[in-house]
């Protein structure tokens, strides 16, 4: 049931993004850009939820691949190092006008 809700929300969000970008005359995001956005969203949600005991929804299996992409499986030295890794792996402003 939980997965079905997530899939429905993702499809709804995608339809909203596509409608908005077309209305503005912008190119829609690629599948990879959408996937990256979802991964970053899960990581941010997990960061917040982890302080509350995951509320019965352990998202680590969704977050660990993102962290591995950022740090290669070894914790980085600081929050700033993670910020730099996020900026390196997920460059923004390519599409921002």
DSSP 51: T
Question: Count of CB atoms within 10 A of residue 70's CB?
Answer: 19
pTM of the predicted model as reported, rounded to 2 decimal places: 0.70
Q: How far is CA 55 from CA 28, 45, 46, 63, in A?
A: 34, 12, 10, 16
Give per-residue pLDDT as tens, 64-96.
Answer: 999 999 999 999 999 999 999 999 998 874 445
Domain boundaries, the chain: 27-89
Question: pLDDT (tens digit, 9 = 90+) per residue, 44-55?
Answer: 888 888 777 777
Residue 4 has pLDDT above 80, yes or no: no
Q: How far apart are CA 80 and CA 12, in angstroms?
A: 34
């Amino acid at each position: 049931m939980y997965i079905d809700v997530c899939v429905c929300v993702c499809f709804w969000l995608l339809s909203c993004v596509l409608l908005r970008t077309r209305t503005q005359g912008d190119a829609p995001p690629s599948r990879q850009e959408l996937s990256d956005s979802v991964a970053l969203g899960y990581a941010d949600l997990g960061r917040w939820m982890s302080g509350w005991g995951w509320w019965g929804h352990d998202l680590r299996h969704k977050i660990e691949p993102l962290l591995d992409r950022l740090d290669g499986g070894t914790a980085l030295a600081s929050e700033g190092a993670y910020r730099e890794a996020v900026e390196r792996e997920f460059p923004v402003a390519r599409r921002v006008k």
